[in-house]
Amino acid sequence: MATHLHCTRLRKRKNILLLVCLFFSYASFSQKDKADSLRFLLTNEKADTNRVNLLRQLATAIGVYNPDTALILSYQSLSLARNIGYVEGESRAIGVLANTFRKFGNFSKALELNIQKLKLEEKRNNQRNMASVLNNIGTVYVLQEEYRKALEYYSKADSIIRKYNVEELKYYITLNIGDVYNRLDISDSAFTYFSKSLELAKNENDGDLIGTSMTGLGHSFLKLGSYKNSLTNYQTAIGYLQAAGDDEILCEATLGLANLYEHMGEYDSATHYAGMSLAIAKKDGFLSLELDAAEFLTDHYKKIKNIDSAFTYVSYVKGLNDSVNSKSKIRESQVISSNEQFRQLELEEERRIAKKERVQQLQMLLIAIFIPGFFLLTLLLSRVIVHVKMIRLLGVLSLLFLFEYLTLLLHPTVARLTHHTPVYEILIFVGIAAILIPLHHKLEHWLIHKLIHHRHGTPVKNKTPVKK
């Protein structure tokens, strides 16, 4: 897990911050094994609630190596959750969907979905989810280099985490706030939060987190001019990060140390650690970090007047910039593609809902035709020789169908007016029942009387026998 921390010489860039989004990263092969297991469980699962959760978990696992499929799966999870009214599942599915768009570099869509999740959580009482989504919104703003806006959302998340003692998020939000202050060059505040994050990391006894926090402290001490403390933190951080195998933060720590040595005038050490950062970034394919190291070395060699080496790295930087620009164009294409893919998923969902509504409308139409037809049948049967009890039964059924149909027609309107609040719905239907039940009894007596009245007809007059 890693968050990117910037020192003074590093250019500002947009990076995917894995820690700040609260998603754990594993090796692709392990995620593929997990995905296979989840697919098997999903195939045999019948309960809709469990299917929502499995689809979301599968999207998370697959998103590490196949975000296109993750987009489809997370949307399926979201659609099913909404269809069955599973709000927790809906909220979590939106979160995974937002994270998937973030991986595409589609930050505007990720922000839109996170705000959608925020609105959903504002109606609930899950403080952990609320803090998490506020944190994720802050992360998207960091990626868009809107640091003041990011700090606003991080602060909101932090207040919830501290108020409700959400232990699992304390380290991450503290580190993230320190990171934003570092980007804003507010070094004293960055130092305060990095120090707090280090305490939390030590409490968790997590070497990777300790190394990450100490890298941040190295940056802060460097900016504050405390070179000795900066050196101690960088060197200690490098040991932790090497042990944890966190090459991403290791690149930043070694380049930060190179920057420190340059400030101290120890140019050979600066060259060594910058070269180390470059080699690690190149090996792991961290293009932005490789470019940072190459730019540092270019300026460094110019500063020490090693023109040949400086010229070499100028060419190297140019090649990397071409690669970065190429990747930027690819990312722009991915953003357009992901938007279109999402639009198609929405259209498919709209067609499914429209089809369902057409089926319901057809059923209502058939019921509307059936009720008068049933009444007409009752009327016809009342004209032939059928037992009076049967006519009474058919008459009662005709009225029951009519009144239940009226209830079906009224329910959507009542639900919409009350915003699906059960208490208000039941009160309204009790009021409607208070009107309909007496009306039902009166209509029942009147209808039954009319249906069987002709069966008795006009009483036959008794003829007096003629006396002979």
Tell me whether residue 209 is in a domain. Answer: no
Q: How confident is the model at residue 7 (pLDDT cuts 50, 70, 90)?
A: very low
Residue 150 has pLDDT above 70, yes or no: yes
Tell me whether residue 269 is in a domain. Answer: no
Give the pLDDT confidence score for residue 5 in this predicted structure: 47
Domain with 403, as residue range(s), is 354-456
Longest CA–CA separation in the chain, Å: 155
Query: Which is more confidently placed, 111 or 414?
Result: 111
Tell me whether residue 139 is in a domain. Answer: no
pLDDT tens readout for residues 361-409: 788 788 778 877 877 777 677 666 667 677 677 767 777 777 777 777 7
Task: Give the CB-side neighbour count of residue 38, counting CA atoms within 13 A.
Answer: 20
- Inter-axis angle of helices 287-303 and 247-263, to 10 degrees? 10
Separation of alpha carbons 4 and 50, rounded Å:
36
Residue 306 has pLDDT above 70, yes or no: yes
Give the pLDDT confidence score for residue 112 in this predicted structure: 92
335-355 as b/e, with b when 16 or more CB fall inside 10 Å?
Answer: beebeebbeebeeebeeeeee
Residue 43 has pLDDT above 70, yes or no: yes
DSSP 87-99: HHHHHHHHHHHHH
Give the pLDDT confidence score for residue 217 in this predicted structure: 97
Tell me whether residue 153 is in a domain. Answer: no
Tell me whether residue 442 is in a domain. Answer: yes
Q: What are phi and psi of 459, to 5 degrees?
A: -55, 135
Q: Which residues contact 145 (CB under 8 A, 6 or more apart)?
A: 12, 14
Query: Which is more confidently placed, 411 or 275?
Result: 275
The stretch 132-155 carries a mean pLDDT of 93
Q: How confident is the model at residue 242 (pLDDT cuts 50, 70, 90)?
A: very high
Q: How confident is the model at residue 338 (pLDDT cuts 50, 70, 90)?
A: low
Separation of alpha carbons 74 and 63, rounded Å:
10
pLDDT tens readout for residues 66-108: 878 888 999 999 999 998 999 999 999 999 999 888 877 788 8
Residue 11 has pLDDT above 50, yes or no: no
Identify residue 417 by its one-letter amino acid code: L
Give the pLDDT confidence score for residue 299 in this predicted structure: 85
Identify residue 203 by its one-letter amino acid code: N
As for how many domains the chain has, the answer is 1
Give the pLDDT confidence score for residue 451 in this predicted structure: 62
Please, are residues 215 and 249 in contact by the beta-carbon 8 Å criterion? Answer: yes
Give the pLDDT confidence score for residue 187 in this predicted structure: 95
Give the pLDDT confidence score for residue 331 in this predicted structure: 57
pLDDT tens readout for residues 171-180: 999 999 999 9
Highest mean pLDDT among 248-257, 322-331, 430-439: 248-257
Tell me whether residue 251 is in a domain. Answer: no
The stretch 442-455 carries a mean pLDDT of 66
Tell me whether residue 436 is in a domain. Answer: yes
The whole-chain average pLDDT of the chain stands at: 81
Query: Which is more confidently placed, 42 or 381?
Result: 42
Tell me which residue of 5, 10, 4, 2 sits closest to 259, measured CA to CA. 10
The stretch 449-468 carries a mean pLDDT of 52
- Inter-axis angle of helices 422-456 and 388-417, to 10 degrees? 160
pLDDT tens readout for residues 59-77: 988 876 787 888 899 999 9
Residue 297 DSSP one-character state: H
Tell me whether residue 450 is in a domain. Answer: yes
Q: Which residues contact 371 (CB under 8 A, 6 or more apart)?
A: 398, 401, 402, 405
Element (H, E) at 426: helix 422-456
Give the pLDDT confidence score for residue 355 in this predicted structure: 81
